[in-house]
Structure 1
Amino acid sequence: MRNPSSLFPPLLAGFVAVLVGYASSAAIIWQAAAAAGANAQQIAGWMTALGLGMGVSTLVLTLWFRAPVLTAWSTPGAALLATSLQGVTLSETIGIFIFANALILLCGVTGLFARLMKIIPHSLAAAMLAGVLLRFGLQAFSNLEGHFLLCGSMFLAWLVAKAVAPRYAIVATLLVGGIVAWAGGDVVTNSLHFSVVVPEFIAPRFTLTTLISIGLPFFLVTMASQNAPGFATMKAAGYPVAVSPLMVFTGGLALLLSPFGVYSICIAAITAAICQSPDAHPDASKRWLAAAAAGVFYLLAGIFGGSISALMAALPLSWIQTLAGLALLGTIGGSLYQALHHETERDAAVVTFLVTASGVTLLGIGSAFWGLIAGGAAFALLSRYRRA
């Protein structure tokens, strides 16, 4: 009979993984859904569907492979959506989800993932991501002007926790910000309610401009910045699970649930590392228990997705923006490093970054796409010149 005390570390690891994932990303997803024009009830349904989707996928894949396979939503993808969906209808947003998830499924079925990632230089993909995320980083500090106590205390909590316990920096930031907002009377408690919300089916609408300007960059960001690091994390931890079956299952499930607000289901990286570490279990062959526990906590979070959405709506916008910006600082820094690391590719990467960050829209197509086009043209021209 298994010792109950031996189950506590994997149970705790699974809980922390889900808590960190929600703390660092739920605010960004809330912003993305709001940008698409979703009302509070629909956003709650999205959170429910996402939690259930990640719970099912984590449990099925973990039990199937007997390995700690943790899934997650794409945080960089949510950030891109939050900056790109202004003026896009809810039906068109669902069309974007279906388009991107269908491409991910196609990559899994055909095995084109690795080859597809080689077409676009990694420095340009990283520069595009940094350009998309720049607004979030700026918002984390621009709110200091009107909400100094709230945002300043959140930044201080993040800074201290980053030095002492980096893994829990965002959890500490969330808690401190919530306490300060509550003490300052900034939490709208009259709209705070806890309930189970059934996800709403939204019929998709496909338009060429949105699929090219948002769907294609969203697909690339999800693959390059979420799935690729997720597989790399698993391999580094000693779990070289076959790529294609995971891509087919997660992409197919996300495609099936897209009309209910599931914009992505990916292989987790940062939160997966919590379940794949020796802290989760000293025996590497038993660490799948931590991921299985995370799957159960995902399901619980999905069932109470309406409560999570209600909590987000009750908190001040400055709290949401500051939390999202601080949660993405590491991703922004890593993206800039990868974009500028190679001197020969630096000029093209800067072009990609600046065009993407500019927010320019040409021919109805957004800046993320044009950033890749401009950077790709600069990369091709400068590479050819240097070879000559």
Structure 2
Amino acid sequence: MTENKVGFQNGVSDFISDINPRNTGTGMAAGIFGLSAGVVMISAGQAAGLNPNFIIAWVTGQFLLCGLFGIFIPTYYRQPIPMATSIPGALLFTAVIPSVGLGPALGATLIAGVLSFIIGKSGLMGKLIHYIPSPIIMGMVGGVLLSFGLGMITPLENAFIPAILMISAFFIVTKYLPKFPAVLGALMIGLLYIFISDISFTGVEFVVNYPSFVLPEFTLSAFLAYGLPLTIILIGMETPAGVGLLKSVGFKQVPTNGITSANGIGTIVGSFFNLHSLCIAAPMTGICSSPESGKLEARWVSAVIVGIIFFVAAPFYGILVSLLEITPGFIPAIIAGLALMSVLITTIGGSLGASNYKMGALIAFLTAASDITLLGIGSSFWALVFGVVVSLFIETADFKQQKFERYDKNGEESVQMAK
């Protein structure tokens, strides 16, 4: 059977009927967190010596693209699938431009998008995800998100008062106002702290640079240096992390192939506008799909809110960068950690507390948490590789007892069988 999708029909009316304070709160928290990632991109561009006008146009274009896809994709599937850009891909993109040139880097981006689209459309991605044991996927996701949980605690050392106020607000709202989004309560305390503290807004300025149409160029060296690693990042890191998160919180039919294809289409489109990638955003998926967003069937609204925030904020990102630069970094860190707590409980518990694949799940968790980079590829990919290899060697009996599902040519479930 094909992947579950609702389509765009009644999208607006369903959005209006499903929106509530809980998914609005997590959508706002995820959107603010996602906007802060642009600062990382700007820093990477500056470190690579790229033109400042290009950097602003690049970041602005990325948020416009992610905003558009971030509105349409979760609406189409009615699942919390926020779309963003790959930060590892961004770091690699800025690093290779001085050596291979912008045109060839965009050509390599185009090829990576095409490959991602083909892998998703063929159904291979769905089959691959299905045959990776769930505890290992959860271990990888838990390791990826662990840093966000730690980022919620570490500010207690140097910013104890605002940090403890935000964290306390979250738990107080959770206990006494269960219908109000606790993350939004913590965010309100953080914003109040900004306005009452001695922070100068004099450096805030308005800068706008929109992306322009370009024709990519193609060279083998650029593909090997950037296109191939980007392909692996998109299908080996970004998609598995996002899909694993959705499954961990209770979404049974996750459109793995559709997400992979959408990543490819967005990356292809972006390559003609000086952009480097589009993909499902794992940390924001964790926030939007968490129990903090309320009822499972209405959590998709939070992802659409993220898309709206990105699209509306993109032209004003010059101002946002200035605001983010004067905003204490612990505020978005605490918000992200609080929003992901329920997901961390589910993923870490589902991996380390599983009855099988224990060693592989632990190795996946530790590898992902280490944030290592090997051969230019990030830790979440290697977490899956090392976790599966260790389980295959140590826990062979678990694989023999596992129930597999056959897939049709589209990579979807058809028949269950025991092996």
Partner of 2:160: 148
The 1:382/1:211 distance shift into structure 2, 3 A limit, reads farther
1:42 CA displacement: 6.3
Amino acid aligned to 2:139: A
1:73 to 55, 80, 83: 83
Equivalent position SS for 1:343 = coil
Residues 31 and 310 of structure 2 are in contact (CA less than 8 Å); yes or no, is this contact kept in structure 1? no
Equivalent position SS for 1:190 = coil
Amino acid aligned to 1:357: A
| Post-superposition CA distance 1:267-319 (Å, at most 9, x none) | 96864796987889xxxxxx99x998886555323333333333222212233
Amino acid aligned to 1:183: I
The 1:122/1:199 distance shift into structure 2, 3 A limit, reads farther
Partner of 1:125: 137
1-side partners of 2:254 and 2:139: how far apart? 29
The answer for unaligned runs of 5 or more in structure 2 is 1-12, 402-419
Listed as ranges, the matches of 1:93-172 within 5 Å are: 101-163=113-175, 164-165=177-178, 168-172=181-185
1:266 to 280, 293, 296: 280
Equivalent position SS for 1:149 = helix
1:154 CA displacement: 2.1
1:33 to 31, 41, 47: 41
Residues 36 and 85 of structure 1 are in contact (CA less than 8 Å); yes or no, is this contact kept in structure 2? yes
Amino acid aligned to 1:177: G
Q: What is the TM-score with the length of structure 1 in the denominator?
A: 0.70
Partner of 1:308: 320
| Post-superposition CA distance 1:155-209 (Å, at most 9, x none) | 2223233443477333332221122133222x34122234444247898984758
Percent pairwise identity: 20
Residues 82 and 307 of structure 2 are in contact (CA less than 8 Å); yes or no, is this contact kept in structure 1? no
Per mean C-alpha deviation after superposition, the further-off stretch among 98-107 and 306-315 is 98-107
1-side partners of 2:316 and 2:186: how far apart? 22
1:23 to 26, 29, 32: 32
2:361 to 337, 349, 364: 349
Per mean C-alpha deviation after superposition, the further-off stretch among 361-370 and 324-333 is 361-370
1-side partners of 2:341 and 2:40: how far apart? 18
- Residues matched between the structures, number: 366
Partner of 1:283: none
2:344 paired with 1:332: yes
1:256 CA displacement: 1.8
Amino acid aligned to 2:242: Q
The 1:231/1:361 distance shift into structure 2, 3 A limit, reads closer
2:242 paired with 1:226: yes
The 1:382/1:129 distance shift into structure 2, 3 A limit, reads same
Partner of 2:187: 174
The answer for unaligned runs of 5 or more in structure 1 is 281-286
1-side partners of 2:74 and 2:233: how far apart? 29
Amino acid aligned to 2:83: W
Equivalent position SS for 1:193 = coil
1:264 CA displacement: 2.5
1:147 CA displacement: 1.3
1:381 CA displacement: 0.9
2-side partners of 1:370 and 1:85: how far apart? 18
The 1:383/1:292 distance shift into structure 2, 3 A limit, reads closer
1:89 to 89, 95, 99: 95
Equivalent position SS for 1:255 = helix
Residues 139 and 322 of structure 1 are in contact (CA less than 8 Å); yes or no, is this contact kept in structure 2? yes
1:380 CA displacement: 0.7
CA RMSD of aligned residues (A): 4.8
Per mean C-alpha deviation after superposition, the further-off stretch among 159-168 and 120-129 is 159-168
| Post-superposition CA distance 1:194-246 (Å, at most 9, x none) | 4444247898984758778786355334222324656999977xxx8977566
Amino acid aligned to 2:261: V
2-side partners of 1:221 and 1:248: how far apart? 15
The 1:68/1:115 distance shift into structure 2, 3 A limit, reads closer
Partner of 1:284: none
The 1:168/1:264 distance shift into structure 2, 3 A limit, reads farther
Residues 68 and 272 of structure 1 are in contact (CA less than 8 Å); yes or no, is this contact kept in structure 2? no
2:382 paired with 1:374: no
Residues 113 and 267 of structure 2 are in contact (CA less than 8 Å); yes or no, is this contact kept in structure 1? yes
1:10 CA displacement: 6.1
